[in-house]
Amino acid sequence: MKKNIILSIAAIITLALFGGVYNQAQSQDTTPKQAQKPQAQQPLKTTSLEIVANPSKFLNKTVKMQATFDKFSTLGLDYKKAMRSSTDYIGILIQRDDVIDHNIPLSEMKLFLKKDLAEKHIDLDTGDKIEIVAKEFSTALNDPWLDVENLTVIKKAKKDETEN
C-alpha cells in the first residue's frame, strides 16, 4: 500500500509539473508576428558644402542636394580605403557653391556613379544644374565619399553663342 501511495504521489507530481509546462507553452503567443517592412530612408536635404564641412555627420545616410555639374572624373577611384573600382564606377565633380565668378570643382567631395547610370547622363555639360541623391559610405581622408543613387538634370547650361 505504501508503494501504491508513493507511486500515486509521484504520478500526481509528474502530471502537475508536465501540465504546468504544457500550459505555459500553450499560453505563449506562437502566432508569427507580421514582418515589418523597412521604411525607405528619406534623403536629408542638404548642401555639398555642409557635407564637406561635416562628413561624419552624414556617414551611412542618404542625402539630397542640388549642384552644378563640372565634369566626369577618375578622382578617388581604386583608393583601397574607400574602394570603388574604375571598372564599375566613374566619378563626377560638382562645382563649389561658394564661388560664383568662375568654375572651381569641389574636389573634396568624391561622388561615384555606377557606369550604367553614368551612361544615361553622358550628355551632361559643365554648368548643368543637377539634383543628386547619394549615400555617404566613407569618410576616408576626412572627405565625404558618396554613391550616387539618382541624378536628375534640373536645368541645362546655355551653350556659348560662338559654338557652331
Dump pLDDT digits (tens) for 79-115.
999 999 999 999 999 999 999 888 899 999 999 999 9
SS3 153: strand
> Is 104 part of a structural domain of the chain?
yes
Residue range 127-154: average pLDDT?
98
- Which pLDDT value is given to residue 31? 46
Amino acid at position 152, single letter: T
Among 25, 55, 43, 34, which Cα is nearest to 152's? 43
Range of the domain at 107: 44-155
> Is 131 part of a structural domain of the chain?
yes
> Is 39 part of a structural domain of the chain?
no
> Is 15 part of a structural domain of the chain?
no
Per-residue pLDDT reduced to its tens digit, 12-51: 655 555 555 445 545 454 445 555 555 666 999 999 999 9
SS3 157: coil
> Is 82 part of a structural domain of the chain?
yes
> Is 92 part of a structural domain of the chain?
yes
User: How many domains does the chain divide into?
Assistant: 1
CATH number, residue 66: 2.40.50.140
